[in-house]
Structure 1
Amino acid sequence: MDGVAASGETVTAATALAGLILVYLGSLAASFGTFQPQEQKTVRPRYQKRAWVAFAGLAIALLSASLGVLGKWLPNECMANAAVIILLVAFAWGIGIALLTAQEVG
């Protein structure tokens, strides 16, 4: 299967992953908001680190989706293939986010 033919699936997977990461970011923000202002100063660095790592994963997933849309629209094989490769990076990034979170919890 060529990249252009897989673009639809790539866009679907990338936007689904971006949505999951966005939910994770919302959960982080909600969790951070439960702390009192004095406590927030203490936990802010840890929450900021997790939020920026998640934001980077969101950006990578959306880059993959964007390239997938453009690759199918133009149709550009190189762009579509790049979307698939970047999607794989986004999947790995998502696993990394989950692993870091699991390590912090226990």
Structure 2
Amino acid sequence: MTKRISQHHALRITQCVLVLSLALTVGCSSKPSYYAATQGSNCFAKAVPTLGEGGLAWGNTLSIAKQKSLNNCIRYAGRSGGTPNTCQVVLAECKR
């Protein structure tokens, strides 16, 4: 009888874990992600510092993309031990 009860509890626990994981997956998938929000963006820009990592960004307009890429460059260059104050946009264009 003890074996039957423990198998029953194991089955219930497995079912609960499955239901919770599905509920969390469904709840999170309905929220817009960063990539979904920028999927329709038409323009992109890349900014690089003299030393360190640069930044690439998308935006609806060229000026938004440039500003975002500069902000990313400053952030990434600072984190990578580079020179954030030397960031410059080196590539900027729109697809259409």
Higher relative contact order (CA 8 A, sep 6+): 1
Q: What is the TM-score with the length of structure 1 in the denominator?
A: 0.29
Structure holding more strand per residue? 2
What TM-score comes out, normalization by structure 2 length?
0.31
Greater Rg, structure 1 or structure 2? 2
